[in-house]
Structure 1
Amino acid sequence: MEANCGGQPTDYGTLLPLNGDHTASPPISIQNVQRQGLRCLLYSPQPLSPGDRVRQEVDFTRRWDHMQQHTGQHLLSAVMGTYDGLATVGWGMGKEGDMNYVDVPRRPSPEEMRDIQDRCNQLIRENLPITVKTPENARDNKLPDDYDKSLGIVRVISIGDLDHNTCCGTHLCQTLHVSLILLSNKTQTVHSKNCRLFFTAGDRAVKLSSVSVDALSSISRLMSCGNAPDEIVANIKRLCDATAELKKKEANLLLDLARHEGDRAKALLQGGKNAWVYRPDGSFEFINRVVSTVGESVRGCRGVVIIAAGEVKKAGPVVVYGEKEAVEAAVTKIKGIVKDIKGGGKGERWQGKVSEWRREEMEALKELASV
């Protein structure tokens, strides 16, 4: 089994203890393999005695996946290296089913991304040989501190005449085994200067393609449109635009309602009463509009307006607005009613939050505001 090396995760596998009659005991799962100098250490979850005979079996499905991703990265980096400013400065292999990444000094253009992907897959079809050599003059300026080159070797992985790179990871023997390389148009800025480009290769890429086609078909049925990606995107964009317009109208209606509630509260305050305003779907913007509508009409009034928002069994804000003394008195009573309310404020406005509304608390606040 191989330990973690060259950016490639460690192998998994099993140890089969062999009895004296050469029959095998139940296999021992190995999922922790570490390199220590030139030694590969397998950590067994159950004890073995010195001299015990075992047979190692590598989880080849995992090994094959890692080889496809790793060789795919070498091929991708070799192709990207032919572009100005796209030399690979780092890479990482994603977990099973996830995408990998390469870090480059700048963001490739969409046209470059398409060209790079096409070139990679063309080279896969050309089935270039992948060879491993151990030349004496191999570049070794990045060897680990605990690696003794005089006792070990430095491997150079070659993809035809296209690329020659030192690497200690496991690789495929021909590009055809990479099967497919897919680049994501999603990128990410790292270290404030580099661009992280995501990709996947081999069976992962094939599965991703299959899942993506199924997803597009499902979306097209939901959207009642054709399967062509451009048509699906256009329909989704129209739906998003329509949704955004509806949300805008909803927000405007809610603000109109807030002004109406503010006018109602103002009338109650001027009549010497308290006011209760509650909206399950309210927000701080709704509350602030109510407060601004009430405005300075609280001056000289002994009452307060209590504004609450949020559904029962969910969190929500509370604002108490009025003259300072009236607000302080109301907040003292509210804290006795709503046990887990937290907040603060000074002067004419106190603002708090309830982590979970209870129906009886809502009713009690409403009753308090009606006094």
Structure 2
Amino acid sequence: MSHGKEGLRRRAYLLLEHPGTGPRLARVLDVALILLIIANVIAVALETVPRIYATHHASFRAFDTISVAIFSVEYMLRVWASAEREPRLPPWRARLRYMRSPMALIDLGAVLPFFIGLLFTSNLQMLRILRLFRIYKLTRYSPALSVLISVIREEAGALVAAFSILTILLVFAATGAYLVEHEAQPSEFGSIPAAMWWALVTLTTVGYGDVTPITPLGKVFGGFITVLGVGMAALPAGIIASGLADHLHRRRDQLRNEFRLALEDGKIDLEEGRQIERLRRELGISRDIAHAILSEVRLRQVPRGECCCPACGHVFDSRKLASVRSAEPSKPGLQRIHDKPEGR
């Protein structure tokens, strides 16, 4: 009985967490959940139109109830099957660790507004808007969003440092604007907190133009802050872009190493091909890029087999010839092999 339960849990885990390697039903379920999430986001947006909501509020309510039921069952199945994620841990500990993961918290947040609305009916409009957070469930099905979240997590230290610098500059700009402009414009620059609005839109290079310095010293200071903001506002974007490029290179290197290991015997068998395809899907690498990486690995692969010297008949490994060629470019390949005989 326990083996049957574990087998069912294993199938549920593969069905929900690895749909690309499961049966056709897994892929159909994946697409159905994506369409349901998109439909929920559209429904929440349409509910904010008073005329549409007044006419179809019962339909919206029924659709939300059905969606919450499906998302709740999905969440419970994922928690139950998460014991397969870390089989070395006790099931309860593996499930608890999964429940604290970002994706599990997003799944929980997708259904919480509905149950909160059953208990507290004071602000239903806000709870309806909170259902828009269901769009973050698409992170599970979008490799691009997963990559972005991974990059932000990896570059968290650099991003915190960048935003700390921006915060310091914001206070500096607001203080300077207050000192040079508060007498000329007491309503806009009457205090440092009031001047922070101008400092924020200037440092971020938005520049709405609703608040601008009018004194000569204020204009000079404002120009300096504007030039400074052009570089500083782009700092977080540069960090993310650099981290994204590095992350994508590492993913491709991982797939390249998998191809090298699979081609050690000269060919890729069916099981190795499935494993590589599973890795390709998990890494979010397109088939065209994967084929390009495979062609590159095959071109760089040293052919196996024995070669025979046409002069003396000496048999040697062709891989050794290739390594000697790269190590001593001054001599012909066969001559260098004869200079370093093995066991002769």
| Fold shared, TM-score > 0.5 on shorter chain | no
Q: TM-score range by the shorter chain?
A: under 0.3
Q: Which is richer in strand? A: 1
Q: Which is richer in helix? A: 2
Between structure 1 and structure 2, the one with the greater Rg is: 1
TM-score by length of 1: 0.20
